[in-house]
Amino acid sequence: MILTVTLNTALDITYRVRSLRPHASHRVSEVTERPGGKGVNVARVLAALGHEVTVTGFTGGATGRVVQERLTAVPGVVDALVPITGTTRRTIAVVDERTGDTTQLNEPGPTVLPAEWSAFQEAYEDLLPSASAVALCGSLPPGVPVGAYAGLIRTARSFSVPVLLDTSGEPLRRGVAARPDIIKPNAGELAELTGSHEPLRATQDARRRGAGAVVASLGPAGLLAVTREGRWQAAPPASFRGNPTGAGDSAVAGLLSALVEHHPWPTRLTRATALAAATVNAPTAGEFDRGLYEELLTRVTVSGEVSAA
């Protein structure tokens, strides 16, 4: 079982409009709702790849009930969300059908009380003995300590469970110091962490700060990885226009699925890059174009070198 942690779960709502124009009224052509938050998106993709996944984090209020109802319809995903008194947030994506661009609006999330945070930590520790890997994903809701991910990483390490961390800002900075097995920042998050805008230098610096491996998302250019075993860059054969929301989450799913299947780094990066590109081509986050994904598995290019023993 792969465990994904989403402390700031959401109900993802996507509106499609013919053309998005400021200061104008719009007729919505299609509305979709999905359980969301980065770790939930990761779980959905992992399940589609055939893995058993357990989702934990927080859920509350009417929105939280909708999230849980929708999760029950996802084959292969087990709901282990922890209830809170606050109301789960919503995220709104507006897709411009003319350009393919997406405008995203993210609510901050409910305040988590100290007793609720303690209850989550107990539930998390109970789940770890059955986990083959853990993904810690997304922002922290109000009330959760800024060092939360660092503590969760140390707990997972005490159970010898590999951890992938995908967050930003101070939670990422503190989390890296707890020595996660993998971090997956995008270029902006990596620059904020290290102060460097040169991808290779920044990725190497992030690894020196404590991460076992750093896999940086470079947008249409693919992924750059610096690991104990070597360094590689993976690139799709072309840029794909569409909704980029969830592409990074699909990359995380690709990395985790290949990790638990014991594939080498080039295979992990090929899978992650193909999934990310296939997600851009899909209409909503947490989904991917399976036909395109399977095609890209043979077309993603990976270059790099193995570290000397």
The catalytic residues are: 249
Find the distance separating the first CA and the last CA of the chain, reported in whole Å: 32
Cα–Cα distance measured from residue 200 to residue 303, given in angstroms and rounded to the nearest whole number: 14
Residue found by looking up tokens 């036909």 in the block:
291
- C-alpha to C-alpha distance for 213 and 221, rounded to whole angstroms: 19
Residue 90 φ then ψ, to 5°? -120, 150
Bridge partners (DSSP) of residue 106 are: 91
Q: Which residue, among 188, 254, 187, 177, has the nearest Cα to 211 in the 3D structure?
A: 177
CA-to-CA distance for 270 and 254, rounded, in angstroms?
8
**Contact residues for 286 (Cβ-Cβ < 8 A; gap 6+):** 12, 34, 35, 36, 40, 41, 44, 45, 246, 249
User: Phi and psi at residue 82, in whole multiples of 5°?
Assistant: -100, 125
Phi, psi of 9 (to 5 degrees): -60, 165
